[in-house]
Amino acid sequence: MIKRLVDFSLDHRFLVLVLWLLVVVLGLGALRRLPIDAVPDVTNVQVQVLTNSPGLAPEEVEKFISFPVETAMSGLPRIEEIRSVSKFGLSVVTVVFEEGTDIYWARQLVGERLTAAREQIPEGYGDPEMGPISTGLGEIYQFEVRGEPMCQDGTLPSADGRARGAPTQHCYTPMEMFRPMAATVVFALAASLVCALTLMPVLASLFLKRVSEKEPFLFRLAKRLYVPALGASMRHKRVTVGVAVGLFLASLGITPFLGAEFIPRLDEGAVAMQIWRLPSISLEQSNEISTVAERVLKEQFPEVETVISRTGRAEIATDPMGVEISDTYLMLAPPRSWPRRAKPSAARSPCLRAGRWNGAASSRTSRNPPEWASSRSSASRC
């Protein structure tokens, strides 16, 4: 079959050249439109319905808002899942559609059902609206505003324009995440094989008129070493098999020490820490606690260069985080400037020791670590 394919290519050189030129042109056109992302977008097809209702407790939000919206969305075609989050003054209903569903068609269906949902919600309790078209990787922009003079509590004013997608409850697996990469490798191997059997013989016949067959120097050198070794192995077959089996068994002994992570560990030079408080806390108290945490982190951990806290949710609450939760970002200094006690390989050193900093929910210092503090590393969990 391979011989026939090569002969066909040599008999129809012009046709082969035209077809490969067409492939190159189409590939360059696709390259211009190809989205390049550091991390594949694994978000499913989902539409969020957001309802702000200040003053309602979570039980009331669930009863008067979330349940009517979920009921109105039931029965839509190609639905995989309907889930909701009811928090103080906020209802987030997420409608997940089957993979491959057009997102705009799905939003049209949800928009039609919102009319029925609004009729079931008591007047004055909120107006449900669809959230923006965002994904689980939809961080758009994050910034910090600095100005003079400083605030009375010694902190700098900050704002956060981060837009984050809804929780996906691990709606992907590693194989789904890397399916595009695997398909790309398969296509590349198949295309290279076809190219070797069609285009390369044609180009060789056009540009290589005089061909002399001669073994390269490295090949001759390797052959001088390989031929005697092969002869010795064939004369001592049992010894050869025994050595091979022994090496195989020895390799099994180092298997537990090999890395088994599907995704490589990333060290971004920063640590993401979360501060949790009681749900009944006010925004002012949350800011006071965040200020204490930032100050203590800067004072007790010289590895930390900058600390920025973000409390609560944005105006469009695609991430239903209350004022009792703060995302604190610890920007680390270059490892060469760390104290000797901190090893450069341990990039999450402040994260490992974060449980020993002083602080309390009342913004007073205490010897015991607060129960509302938890942390995680951006590269790996603490």
Average pLDDT in the 92-111 region? 93
- The answer to whether residues 274 and 169 belong to one domain is no
- What is the predicted pLDDT for the residue at 368? 35
Cα 16–Cα 17–Cα 19 angle in degrees, nearest 5: 65
18: in domain: no
Domain boundary pick from 174, 195, 216: 174
pLDDT greater than 70 at residue 320: yes
Domain boundary residue, one of 174, 207, 242: 174
Confidence of residue 41 (pLDDT cuts 50, 70, 90): low
Query: Is the residue at 259 inside a domain?
Result: no
CB-based contact 372:281 (threshold 8 Å): no
User: Is residue 349 situated within a structural domain?
Assistant: yes
pLDDT tier, 241 (very low <50, low <70, confident <90, very high otherwise):
very high
pLDDT at 161: 33
Is 350:378 a contact under the CB 8 Å cutoff?
A: no
- Rounded average pLDDT over 78-85: 93
The answer to whether residue 135 sits within a structural domain is yes
| pLDDT higher than 50, residue 153 | no
Q: What are phi and psi of 161, to 5 degrees?
A: -105, 35
Q: What is the pLDDT of residue 312?
A: 82
Residue 95 pLDDT > 50, yes or no? yes
Is the model's pLDDT at 343 over the cut of 90?
Answer: no
CA distance 358 to 342: 20
Q: How far is CA 356 from CA 167, 330, 331, in A?
A: 30, 16, 19
Predicted pLDDT at 119? 92
- Asked which of 174, 198, 232 is the last residue of a domain, the reply is 174
Q: Is residue 104 part of a domain?
A: yes
**Judgement on whether residues 275 and 169 belong to the same structural domain of the protein:** no
| Tokens 């990469």 belong to residue | 181
Any domain includes 190: no
Tell which wins on pLDDT, 308 or 151: 308
Decide: 51 and 129 in contact? Cβ < 8 Å.
yes
Q: Is the per-residue pLDDT at 107 higher than 60?
A: yes
| HSE-CB of 223 using CA atoms within 13 angstroms | 6
- pLDDT score of 182: 82
pLDDT at residue 145, rounded to an integer:
63
pLDDT at 381: 33
Q: What is the mean pLDDT of the segment spanning 9-19? A: 92
Structure tokens at 97: 């559609």
What is the domain-level CATH number for residue 277?
3.30.70.1430
Question: Is there a contact between 51 and 106 (Cβ–Cβ < 8 Å)?
Answer: no
Specify the pLDDT at position 87.
Answer: 87
pLDDT at 278 over 80: yes
Q: Which residues contact 38 (CB under 8 A, 6 or more apart)?
A: none
Question: Residue 314: inside a domain, yes or no?
Answer: yes
Q: How high is the pLDDT of residue 294?
A: 92
Q: Which residues contact 105 (CB under 8 A, 6 or more apart)?
A: none
Please state the rounded mean pLDDT for residues 248-256: 87
Residues 169 and 283 in one domain: no
pTM (global) more than 0.75? no
Q: Are residues 160 and 276 in the same domain?
A: no
**Which residue intervals of the chain are DSSP H helices?**
2-11, 13-33, 58-61, 67-73, 103-120, 174-177, 179-207, 217-235, 237-253, 283-300, 349-352
Q: What is the DSSP string of 59-93?
A: HHHIIIIIHHHHHHHTT-TTEEEEEEEEETTEEEE
Burial profile 297-320: b = 16 or more Cβ within 10 angstroms, e = fewer: beeebebbeebbbbbbbeeebbbb
User: When comparing pLDDT for 246 and 279, which is higher?
Assistant: 246
Neighbour order of strands in the sheet with 270-276: 304-311, 325-332, 270-276, 373-377
Q: Note whether residue 151 is domain-resident.
A: yes
Q: What is the model's pLDDT at position 25?
A: 95
Percentage of residues in the chain having pLDDT higher than 70: 73
Please, what is the average pLDDT of the chain?
A: 78
Q: What is the pLDDT of residues 217-233, one digit of tens each?
A: 898 899 999 999 999 99
Mean pLDDT confidence for 285-307: 91
348 pLDDT tier (thresholds 50, 70, 90): very low
**Stretch 264-280: mean pLDDT, rounded?**
82
Statement: residue 336 has pLDDT above 90:
no
**pLDDT higher than threshold 70 for residue 123:** yes
Structural domain count, the chain: 2
State the residue range of the domain holding 345: 270-377
Q: Residue 314's closest CA among 52, 86, 137, 111?
A: 52
pLDDT value of residue 151: 44
